[in-house]
Amino acid sequence: MINEQIRDKEIRLVGENGEQLGIMSAKEAFKMAQDAELDLVKIAPMAKPPVCKIIDYGKYCYEQARKEKEAKKKQKVIEVKEVRLSPNIDTNDLNTKTNAARKFLEKGNKVKVTLRFRGREMAHMSKSKYILDDFAKELSDIAVIDKPSKVEGRSMVMFLTAKR
């Protein structure tokens, strides 16, 4: 809320340089802000009495937007990348998939390793668990198992995350 929108009887006023000007009526504070050619902005509406500050509102909005933008730059979004395998995968194909997963982990993403079964392969699910174990062992230098392998429908799934 700014200027005339502030309808409280009493407010605690903070000057443009951060000094406390005390408790006064909103009308007096608004007049002081107009004399300084600035705006009266309510910065703490839940306080008793509400806290208002004499500042340039346009500059204040700009500063807030810049702080939010800066905070957004610093945060890292972790994506989950998926690597799909099949039970009859050959060694070279497995190495290729391992290298792809290694790149994902180095970029800071999580890797979901999916071992998909089709048709008759469903009968030998338990015998194929070693493929996921070998995959994890191959990446053990940079990755750690986040969620161990478990069967979900027609596939076996395992999650890997980069070591800290």
User: Measured between alpha carbons, how far is 45 from 101 in angstroms, rounded to an integer?
Assistant: 50
Give the pLDDT of residue 60: 85
Structure token pair of residue 56: 């340039």
Report the candidate in 157, 96, 102 with the shortest Cα–Cα distance to residue 129: 157
CA distances from 10 to 30, 36, 50 (A): 12, 20, 8
**Cα separation of 36 and 108, whole Å?**
51
**What per-residue confidence (pLDDT) applies to 113?**
95
For the segment 68-98, what is each residue's pLDDT rounded down to a tens digit? 999 888 887 788 999 999 999 999 999 999 9
Show the domains of the chain with their CATH numbers: 3-71 (3.10.20.80), 80-162 (3.30.110.10)
d(CA 89, CA 122): 15
Tokens of 84: 């799909």
Q: What is the pLDDT of residue 19?
A: 87
Determine how many CB atoms are found less than 10 A away from the CB of residue 33: 23
Extract the residue ranges of the chain whose pLDDT is less than 50. Answer: none
**Is residue 6 within 8 Å of residue 54, measured between CB atoms?**
no
- What local confidence, expressed as pLDDT, does residue 160 receive? 94
In DSSP notation, 9-64 reads: SEEEEE-TTS-EEEEEEHHHHHHHHHHTT-EEEEEETTSSSPEEEEE-HHHHHHHH
